[in-house]
Amino acid sequence: MLDRLDRKIVTLLSERARISLKELAGIVGLASPTVAERVKRLEERGFIRGYTAVLDARKLGFPLQALVRINPLPGTLHEVQKMIQDTPEFVECDRVTGEDCFVGRLYIRTIEELDAILDRFHDKARTNTAIVKGQPVARRLPPLGRDDGA
104 assigned to some structural domain: yes
| Assigned domain for 149 exists | no
**Is the model's pTM score more than 0.85?**
no
What is the Cα–Cα distance from 17 to 58, expressed in whole angstroms?
Answer: 22
Same domain (yes/no): 30, 76: no
Range of the domain at 26: 4-44
Alpha helices in the chain, H assignment, sequence order: 4-15, 21-28, 32-44, 77-85, 111-119
In a domain, 56, yes or no: no
Query: Does the pLDDT value for residue 145 go beyond 90?
Result: no
Verify that 117 and 85 share a domain, yes or no.
yes
pLDDT in tens, 2-60: 999 999 999 999 999 999 999 999 999 999 999 999 999 999 999 999 998 889 999 99
Number of domains in the chain: 2
Q: Residue 114's closest CA among 65, 58, 56?
A: 65
Are 76 and 127 found together in one domain?
A: yes
